[in-house]
Amino acid sequence: MNKIWLIIQREYLSRVKKKSFLVMTFLVPVLFIGVFGLAGYLVANQNEFGDKKTVQVVDESGMFTNKLRNGNNIEYSYSTQSYATEKAAFAKSGRTYLLHIPASLTDVQLYSEKKASALTIQNIETELSDIAQTSRLLTAGIDTAMLTKARKPINVEARQITETGEKDAQTYVAYAIGFVSAMLIYMSLFIYGAQVMRGVIEEKVSRVVEVIISSVKPFQLMMGKILGIGMVGLTQFVLWILLSLILSTAGGALLMHSNTPSAPMQMSQMQHAASPAAAMAAAGQTPDPNMTKVMHSLQSIPVTYTVCCFLFYFLFGYMLYSAVFASVGSAVDNETETQQFMLPITLPLVFTLIISMNFVIHNPDSSLSVWLSMIPFTSPIAMMMRIPFGVPGWQLALSAFFLVAGFLLTTWVASRIYRVGILMYGKKASYKELIKWFMYKE
């Protein structure tokens, strides 16, 4: 036990003392916020970045002339000439589109040299329908005030009702937290797992392993490495969480005072809430009532509970996968040879992430979601996606139990391959070989 502790210490300190660790710890959140902010900004302002499209309208119905609204990247001009003349002149006119509206309003056509973009077609359709609708209603004798009133949109507020009372459902916030934490787990499994693998290869290639194995058991070395690097990961996450809390408190304080004119940031809450910090940072510039609401719901989520679950699923998911990573590292002589063994690791992770993002997040309580959050190889990602939506205690407990059991089993299998692999040089390992190694007796 004492020796494992020594190994953990070495693995931990040798990584934490590196400059790259500090850089990662402080730069990643900044980058993260930056990337989300930029993406949000681009999405919100996408109209400004597109080319200006010009549409020549030949309106035979007379209903639309001078009524179509110019958008950021679309500009309408109206022709007094006949459709046939315009059509003949179109190719040379330099305009992007030619819109032909027959008097009957059926068979409206949009011509262009290149294929028209779906978005543009949709925009024009909406615009036309809107105007047509209004004008039809007016013709029917409904006055404008009535019309505006009738058009008022209705917002749905999702609320949860349980035995203990009712509260805001905060669906968007749950969505964001699930999305971000599942993504973080996915990335960190790869990042830290690969570190374990690289560490094993380094020891094998430099032959340090032979010296160490003459002092400790292979299993101790493997576990020491996995735990040491796991603690590096935990340290990093705890630092990130602390940083986020500090930033969000600061951001919150800023929000109370700031009255900066609303920046054009109409990002969805989902993107905003990438992390509380991101939300706060962005919110600092956008003090509109919606954002304040999001902030409120962010403050009311069970932070401790979510963070604890996250750390648990990160830690055990990481240990499970890194044991596999370690055995892969032990089977090869250099990093390029790892390719052939990476598929069984990558496949379940990528599969889970895709399913989680496209299915689990929309159906957190469906049986597929529950199953995925039970299987140890998929549960770290799938369960983190579900947790913000509320997971029954027994499911959480069962999933945690399976994950720990899965970790123990995987580690046992991996360590049997590892103990043989680290002493094999120059031999190209195949899956068949790995099975043989596994079967070797002590």
Q: Whose Cβ is closer to other proteins: residue 160's or residue 206's?
A: 206
State the minimum distance, in angstroms, from the CB of residue 239 to other proteins: 23
Query: Does 428 interact with other proteins (rule: CB under 8 A)?
Result: no
Helix axes 218-257, 171-205, angle to 10 degrees: 140
State the minimum distance, in angstroms, from the CB of residue 437 to other proteins: 9
**Dist CA 82 CA 89 (whole Å):** 11
Q: Whose Cβ is closer to other proteins: residue 232's or residue 403's?
A: 232
Phi-psi region of 100 (alpha: psi -120 to 50; beta: other; left: phi over 0): beta
Segment interacting with other proteins (CB under 8 A) among 3-11, 256-264, 367-375, 409-417: 3-11
Residue 335, amino acid: E
State the minimum distance, in angstroms, from the CB of residue 233 to other proteins: 20
Exposure class string for 28-37: b at 16+ Cβ within 10 A, else e:
ebeebbeebb
Count of residues that interact with other proteins, criterion CB under 8 A: 24
Put the strands of the sheet holding 74-78 in their side by side order.
74-78, 53-59, 97-101, 109-112
Report the site for other proteins in 188-247 (rule: CB under 8 A).
202-203, 206-217
The helix or strand, by DSSP H or E, that contains position 98, with its residue range, turns out to be strand 97-101
State the minimum distance, in angstroms, from the CB of residue 207 to other proteins: 4
- In DSSP notation, 306-363 reads HHHHHHHHHHHHHHHHHHHHHHHHHH-SSGGGGHHHHHHHHHHHHHHHHHIIIIITT-
Segment interacting with other proteins (CB under 8 A) among 112-120, 231-239, 318-326, 434-442: 434-442
What phi, psi does 256 have (nearest 5°)?
-60, -35
Segment interacting with other proteins (CB under 8 A) among 7-15, 233-241, 330-338, 351-359: 7-15
Binding-residue pattern over the window 14 to 43 for other proteins, x denoting contact by CB under 8 A: x-----------------------------
Please count the residues of the chain: 442
Q: Whose Cβ is closer to other proteins: residue 95's or residue 419's?
A: 419
Q: Whose Cβ is closer to other proteins: residue 164's or residue 214's?
A: 214
- In DSSP notation, 180-224 reads HHHHHHHHHHHHHHHHHHHHHHHHHHTTHHHHHHTTS-HHHHHHH
Binding-residue pattern over the window 379 to 418 for other proteins, x denoting contact by CB under 8 A: ----------------------------------------
State the minimum distance, in angstroms, from the CB of residue 421 to other proteins: 12
**Dist CA 225 CA 7 (whole Å):** 7
> Contact residues for other proteins (CB under 8 A)?
3, 6-7, 10, 14, 202-203, 206-217, 423, 433, 436, 441-442
